[in-house]
Structure 1
Amino acid sequence: MPRRCFSRDSFNERFGQMHKINFIVALYGSGGRADHVMGILKTLFIARDLTELPVMLVTESSISWLLKGSHAIRLESEHIGTKCGLIPLGHSSTVSTTGLVWNLGIISTSNEVNDTKITIDCDHPILFTIENRMEISR
């Protein structure tokens, strides 16, 4: 089967505008292998070169995506938990947050949301991950 490659512009034109897509969701499992997890995270960086749409990685226990710049995130769903983490990938990053239990101005792999709206400002891409409470059937 021939492999198709899309440039960022052709991908956005073909899929994003045609279907009014706001974000892309990718379901994944790592089988408990660290090398698979790293490969999956690398996919976020590859996707960033293909589209400006956010790509969210979803597992049974978490939802994760790359953030860079300023973000205001509303968390008003019973499907989203309170446990979260902010993890730099590739570069050190200066981060400031509001709406978390520990707004430390540093990276936090174990934090918790204490508001329905959080803000995150970062100068380099970070992985934002938050607890997923959706039931995913097998």
Structure 2
Amino acid sequence: MELRKMWFVKNLNQCAKNCNLLGCWKWDISRIVMRQLQCRAKYAVVILNRPITQNQTFITNLWNNACLRVTVDGGTAQWDNFLKELPENVQKTIRVPDLITGDFDSIPQEILQKYEAINCKVIHTPDQNHTDFTKALMELNSWCKLNNLEIDHVITICQSSGRLDHIMGNIQTLFLAKEKLLLGLKTRLYLVTDDSISWLLQPGDHIIKIPEQSQVNKRAWCSLIPVGETCSRITTSGLKWNLESQSLKFGEIVSTSNTFDGSEHVTVKCSNTVLWSMKVPTLLGE
């Protein structure tokens, strides 16, 4: 056990030294999942068209502490439904959306008119070459430029249930945000689904700080998924089942249903982009 710990610390230190080089990232999601730290982060919240299942207190704090709040098409109705479930005294404290976007094929007209009446900015994005999520990021970026607002994170509330093509479309938007520079160079994009958070790890070295609740939760899980291409070489530390210069490829090995070994950090060195997902129990109030 002591030898394994020494190896992990050595690996972590080496990765930290390399962080001065291009292609190394540190990830700490505590500023977006912990209420007491949210006020220190500059982030936007995007609500897509799926039921909001997370803990009410988490969502209301995340929303109110954001620099920018966006609802996307039918996501506006989902947000309105969420508000109706809150106690009346809490409803009065909730800030209105800054921006409502979409092609408006899934939002009831009475909901759209309701939010127009309280002076929410509404932008119709009819272009069918992109999903409403992708177009919402474009409008979000334009808003930030126009208002001289720099944000570090975009947290997207969505779902991993329902239509598979919509789920894959959300992952496609993660790639487009990176490849087409839909957001600022330093802005990081996350998908929040139920009790998990997902984002892309680009080729290079990564140090991921694991929230304490994920470290100790017996049902915590994580995964590393190659999407769109094979990851020809990946090495990790801090996982129960680590990878050592292995290839990740559909039809061969894909690291699903992995978990943590109790360490404070996970390190990942990958040759190709992979999708990282992890359970964060507090999102559901566990």
The two structures share one fold, judged by TM-score above 0.5: yes
Instruction: Please report the RMSD computed on the Cα atoms of aligned residues, expressed in angstroms.
Output: 2.9
Aligned to 1:87: 225
Aligned to 1:98: 237
- 8 Å CA contact 1:65–1:129 kept in 2: the answer is yes
> Given the superposition, is the C-alpha separation of residues 103 and 56 from structure 1 closer, same or farther in structure 2, using an over 3 Å criterion?
same
> Given the superposition, is the C-alpha separation of residues 19 and 75 from structure 1 closer, same or farther in structure 2, using an over 3 Å criterion?
farther
| Matching of residue 43 in structure 1 with residue 173 in structure 2 | yes
Q: TM-score, normalised by structure 1?
A: 0.79
- 8 Å CA contact 1:59–1:132 kept in 2: the answer is no
Q: Which amino acid aligns with 2:209?
A: R
Determine which of 258, 273, 281 is the counterpart of 1:111. 258
52-61 or 64-73: which moved more?
52-61
How far off its partner does 1:97 sit? 0.5
Aligned to 2:195: 61
> Given the superposition, is the C-alpha separation of residues 104 and 92 from structure 1 closer, same or farther in structure 2, using an over 3 Å criterion?
same
- Consecutive unaligned residues in structure 1, runs of 5 or more: none
115-124 or 25-34: which moved more?
25-34
Bigger radius of gyration among the two: 2
How far off its partner does 1:87 sit? 0.4
- 8 Å CA contact 1:60–1:134 kept in 2: the answer is no
How far off its partner does 1:133 sit? 1.1
Determine which of 141, 145, 150 is the counterpart of 1:14. 145
Q: Which amino acid aligns with 1:28?
A: C
- 8 Å CA contact 2:224–2:276 kept in 1: the answer is yes
3-state SS of paired residue (1:42): helix
- 8 Å CA contact 1:60–1:132 kept in 2: the answer is no
> Given the superposition, is the C-alpha separation of residues 64 and 6 from structure 1 closer, same or farther in structure 2, using an over 3 Å criterion?
closer
How far off its partner does 1:120 sit? 0.6
Q: Which amino acid aligns with 1:87?
A: I
Q: Which runs of 4+ in 1 moved over 6 A?
A: none
How far off its partner does 1:132 sit? 2.4
How far off its partner does 1:61 sit? 2.6
How far off its partner does 1:20 sit? 4.3
How far off its partner does 1:91 sit? 1.1
How far off its partner does 1:62 sit? 1.3
Q: Which amino acid aligns with 1:67?
A: L
57-66 or 102-111: which moved more?
102-111
- 8 Å CA contact 2:195–2:283 kept in 1: the answer is no
> Is the strand fraction higher in 1 or 2?
1
Cα deviations by residue, 1:86-118 (Å, 9 ceiling, x for unpaired) = 000111112111111111233411211111111
Aligned to 1:129: 277
| Matching of residue 28 in structure 1 with residue 158 in structure 2 | yes
> Is the helix fraction higher in 1 or 2?
2
Partners of 1:19 and 1:117 in 2: CA distance: 31
Share of identical aligned residues, percent? 33
75-84 or 116-125: which moved more?
75-84
Partners of 2:160 and 2:243 in 1: CA distance: 30
- Consecutive unaligned residues in structure 2, runs of 5 or more: 1-122, 126-134, 249-254
